[in-house]
Structure 1
Amino acid sequence: MESPALPHHFVSLLQELFEVTSDQLLPSATFDSLDIDSLALMELLAAAEDEYGLVPSQAARDLTPASTMDEAAAALSDSMLGQ
């Protein structure tokens, strides 16, 4: 079941790119806990840019494997709002 704290578009991108399940996508889960490294994070930002036309905010570019799903969702939402 998708967490209500994570936006659908963010969950969809993660599932499409990294084959993670909704059960794994808890707001407190880190990218590292999902075996998503810094290079994969760059892929996520590029996919978000292609899919949604967003320009990643500084907060989105500062995400690390230790960042949580909640932090990443907020950073990507900031990127969408900043357009």
Structure 2
Amino acid sequence: MTQTVEQAAGQPARSELPEPLVTLLTSHLDVKVNPDQLSADTTFESLEMDSLSLMELVVAAEQELGIVLPDEAADLSPSSTLGDAARAFRNAT
């Protein structure tokens, strides 16, 4: 079984980010980044997203995907990572 460098280092690979999260970031919120450059360690701050942008992300996810994100999603801050958001997406109902 082959591993990527990120997996060998114990870090999630890009493919481990939920595709709906990546789509919301790049399409709905119009974050100017190549999706292949996103990783679980990417911070929202590095994507130039502030607290208001994060709330927009949560609302858009709930409306467009028909999910309810856990309370921890409201705790996301600009210093949070996409990995933190991915965990919130996995825990959505």
Please give the TM-score of this superposition, normalised by the length of structure 1. 0.85
Q: Please state which structure has a larger fraction of its residues in helix.
A: 1
| Uncovered stretches (5+) of structure 2, i.e. residues with no partner | 1-12
The residue number in structure 2 matching 1:69 is 82
Q: How far apart in 1 are the matches of 2:90 and 2:74?
A: 13
CA apart distance, 1:47: 0.5
CA RMSD of aligned residues (A): 1.5
Larger Cα Rg: Structure 1 or Structure 2? 2
| Uncovered stretches (5+) of structure 1, i.e. residues with no partner | none
2:14–2:38 contact (8 Å) kept in structure 1? yes
Q: How far apart in 1 are the matches of 2:58 and 2:35?
A: 20
Q: How far apart in 1 are the matches of 2:15 and 2:55?
A: 25
CA apart distance, 1:21: 1.9
Q: Which runs of 4+ in 1 moved over 6 A?
A: none
| Worse overlay, 46-55 or 31-40 | 46-55
Aligned length in residues: 79
